[in-house]
Amino acid sequence: MAILDILNYPDPRLHTVAKPVKEVDASLRRLIDDMAETMYAAPGIGLAATQVNHHIQLLIIDISETKDQLQVFINPRILEKDGEQVYEEGCLSVPGIYDSVTRAEKVVVEAMNEKGETFKLEAHGLLSVCIQHEMDHLLGKVFVEYLSPLKRTRIKNKMLKQQRNRPM
């Protein structure tokens, strides 16, 4: 397994729309393992393939306290949304930035797992937020795009400054 580089906002590659996964094979499972290692090391609770510069419809989530309940979503689709909740979100691609975003309280998602088996899941609360947040990445959208233009500009400038000041 390997720790992958996470793209940082405002990297234009974060705005790439992901393509469906055609085949669940050993190379995809290796990517899932690498993404899991990357997410746990960051540390984070969700990671989309887009964030590690693989533009396929794959995301992983683990909201457990013990960090041993990895959920894999391949070609996820939201079938239902219900309710509304405001959650303070952060993102591994926008380190150190947290802000409130309004999303559906409940979602029903259909996807494949790492074995290629299709499943349906009803998610509430934090899991629902994570699924919606990571699926946004697959559509080329970063959570800061829900914020006001002024906040977005400030965040973008802060991120660019951090990148310039980072040792090579």
H, E, C per residue of the chain: CCCCCCCCCCCHHHHCCCECCCCCCHHHHHHHHHHHHHHHHCCCCEEEHHHHCCCECEEEECCCCCCCCCEEEEEEEEEEEECCEEEEEEECCEEEEEEEEEECCEEEEEEECCCCCEEEEEEEHHHHHHHHHHHHHHCCCCHHHHCCHHHHHHHHHHHHHHHHHCCC
Reading phi first (left if > 0) and then psi (alpha if -120 to 50, else beta), residue 96 is in left
The confidence score (pLDDT) of residue 76 equals: 98
- What is the fold, at CATH topology level, of the domain defined by 12-165? Peptide Deformylase (3.90.45)
Using pLDDT thresholds of 50, 70 and 90, give the confidence band for residue 67: very high
pLDDT tens-digit readout, 137-166: 999 999 999 999 999 999 999 999 988 887
Is 37 annotated as catalytic?
no
pLDDT score of 25 more than 90: yes
C-alpha 23/C-alpha 74 separation (Å) is: 10
Using pLDDT thresholds of 50, 70 and 90, give the confidence band for residue 46: very high
The pTM assigned to this predicted structure is 0.96
Using pLDDT thresholds of 50, 70 and 90, give the confidence band for residue 167: confident
Q: Which of 107, 35, 96 is nearest to 71 (CA)?
A: 35
Neighbours of 132 (CB within 10 A): 20
pLDDT score of 109 more than 70: yes
pLDDT score of 1 more than 90: no
Using pLDDT thresholds of 50, 70 and 90, give the confidence band for residue 129: very high
Q: Which residue in this structure is represented by tokens 């979602």? A: 107
The confidence score (pLDDT) of residue 77 equals: 98
pLDDT score of 168 more than 70: no
Using pLDDT thresholds of 50, 70 and 90, give the confidence band for residue 12: very high
- Burial (Cβ within 10 Å: 0-12, 13-18, ≥19) of residue 164: exposed
Of 23, 84, 105, 134, catalytic: 134
Q: Which residue in this structure is represented by tokens 């999303």? A: 103
The confidence score (pLDDT) of residue 147 equals: 96
